[in-house]
Amino acid sequence: MSLPLLNRKLMLEHAVRTPDQSGGYATVWQALGTLWAEITPGTGTERGANALALSRVPLKITVRAAPVGSDARPGAGQRFREGVRIYSILAVTERDSLARFLICHAQEEVAA
């Protein structure tokens, strides 16, 4: 297995619930740090939702591994940001038996 080409600079973010002054909560995304990654696209699909066409492209985002519990270790429910592009993390697995890299199964949603 060859080493991944970590050539994309991504910001790892996690959701923080904050009061919205109306008795509810708003979600604010807080930056945890920058990670270098390799992004490999899968096969895309398209479906309708709320009178919009949504394109979904599954992605495998490979990053260097970090210890469990570290803020630098991505997890499901977090997201990566690359400029205006957002990649929601669905699951995270170890890429190899030595746990040197992680594969983040993610998707990017774009309103068409």
**Candidate CATH numbers 3.40.50.1000, 2.40.10.270, 2.60.40.1290, 3.30.365.10; the one for domain 8-111:** 2.40.10.270
pLDDT exceeds cutoff 90 at 108: no
- DSSP per residue, 61-80: EEEE---TT-TTS--TT-EE
Name the average pLDDT for the chain: 88
Q: Is the pLDDT of residue 112 over 80?
A: no
pLDDT in tens, 46-86: 666 666 666 667 899 999 999 888 989 999 999 999 999 99
Tokens of 45: 């699909």
Domain boundaries, the chain: 8-111
Q: What are phi and psi of 5, to 5 degrees?
A: -95, 100
From CA 68, how far away is CA 47, in angstroms rounded?
Answer: 36
User: What would the pLDDT profile of 32-45 be if each residue is shown by its tens digit?
Assistant: 999 999 999 877 66
The answer to whether the beta carbons of residues 36 and 80 sit under 8 Å apart is: no
pLDDT band at residue 102 using 50, 70 and 90 as cut-offs: very high
Phi-psi region of 50 (alpha: psi -120 to 50; beta: other; left: phi over 0): left
Cα distance from N-terminal residue to C-terminal residue, the chain? 37
User: What pTM, to 2 d.p., does this model score?
Assistant: 0.82
